[in-house]
Chains A and B, each alone.
Chain A
Amino acid sequence: MTKYALVTGGSRGIGRAICIRLASMGYHVLINYHNTLQGAEQTLAAVRNAGSNGEMIRFDVTDRGAVDAVLNEWAANHPDAYIEVLVNNAGIRKDNLMLWMEPEEWDSVVNVSLNGFYNITRLLVKNMLIKRFGRIVNIVSLSGIKGMPGQTNYSASKAGVIAGTKALAQEVAKKGVTVNAVAPGFIKSDMTQDLDENELKKMIPCGRFGTAEEVAFLVGFLVSKEAGYITGEVISINGGIYT
């Protein structure tokens, strides 16, 4: 029987690597994207290369109406299936000091990370409970644990998701659904390409940025059946930066 996984923000970076990892584990991957069709197509090709299949699924995670419409339509077209793995990965950065932070910079970052987590999860968790198996992994950040100057919007959003992870984990644990958060530090991706790696890696005990594939490996572990006793956790993957 086909097993389904949904990855939000699956068209690039960490999201793409997670899609590929889940495909290698046999999942049919629903690759969510918003504006980056070409990236999503590349992810789909990589998913197929990994020996599984997938489909692209377009919606803006902040648009509650669109999320409802697309996911309800998918469910109607797949009456015997359910999405057993959800990876809430979509996120954006709009860094600024609080002193200069525009309302749009605050609202958009909170909307994608925190409201996006709610918009998708509330729809998918019900079937996980009914089927008595589900895996939810929220991609958060070192920024949401430690707080990073210049990122009050991003840190606050990710910290909100961390708290949501812990609360939801307790709500659904008895039904075989686990909810965990993965907190990457500095990972090579589109999102960190403007950072000075040579300077920043001096503060990382491992002496380098991580890779998206390393994050994806951790996500793959957390969604595995064998990881069923791990829930409500925030697992850092940051090369040894003390958190």
Chain B
Amino acid sequence: MDKIALIKLINENLAEEFEVDVDTITPEAHLMETLDLDSLDLVDMVVLIEQNFHFTPKAADFREIATFQDFYNFVESKMNEAQ
């Protein structure tokens, strides 16, 4: 999967899971604020990642992620690791 397709898939999944308009998701936007997530919502995020991208993120991983771009890079690098 190329990066553009991956980003599209991530955005669609996030928009559906966290009930936001997909247009509000931009690479520079803040992930947690845009999706209105608190630390408990990370449980849903882990399940979403596990189901769609087949790896389990750790708590520490989320401390490194601020924007959607960070998140895209994170998912991409984990998927590349798995290949």
Interface positions of A (Cβ within 8 A of B): 96-97, 99-100, 149-150
Contact = CB atoms under 8 A, between A and B. Distances in A.
B43 interface: yes
A97 B43 CA distance: 8
B39 A97 contact: yes
B39 A150 contact: yes
B59 A100 contact: yes
A99 B46 CA distance: 9
14 contacts: A96-B59, A97-B39, A97-B40, A97-B42, A97-B43, A97-B59, A99-B43, A99-B46, A100-B58, A100-B59, A149-B39, A149-B40, A150-B39, A150-B40
Contacts of A97: 39-40, 42-43, 59
Chain B interface secondary structure, helix, strand, loop or mixed?
helix
Interface string B38-54: 01101100100000000
- Of the four ranges (under 10, 10 to 19, 20 to 34, 35 or more), the interface on chain B belongs to under 10
Interface string B15-57: 0000000000000000000000001101100100000000000
B52 to A, nearest CB: 17
Nearest to B39: A150
A203 to B, nearest CB: 14
Contacts of A149: 39-40
Nearest to B56: A99
Nearest to A100: B59
A99 B59 CA distance: 9
Nearest to A101: B59
A205 B47 CA distance: 36
Contacts of A100: 58-59
A33 to B, nearest CB: 30
B71 to A, nearest CB: 18
Given A149-B39, A150-B39, 12 more contacts: A96-B59, A97-B39, A97-B40, A97-B42, A97-B43, A97-B59, A99-B43, A99-B46, A100-B58, A100-B59, A149-B40, A150-B40
Contacts of B40: 97, 149-150
Contacts of A150: 39-40
Contacts of A96: 59
A97 B42 CA distance: 9
A103 to B, nearest CB: 15
A97 B62 CA distance: 13
A95 B45 CA distance: 19
B25 to A, nearest CB: 24
A96 B40 CA distance: 10
A97 B59 CA distance: 9
A97 B44 CA distance: 12
Interface pairs A-B: 8 shortest CB-CB:
A100-B59, A149-B40, A99-B46, A99-B43, A97-B43, A100-B58, A96-B59, A150-B39
A132 B46 CA distance: 55
A156 B35 CA distance: 31
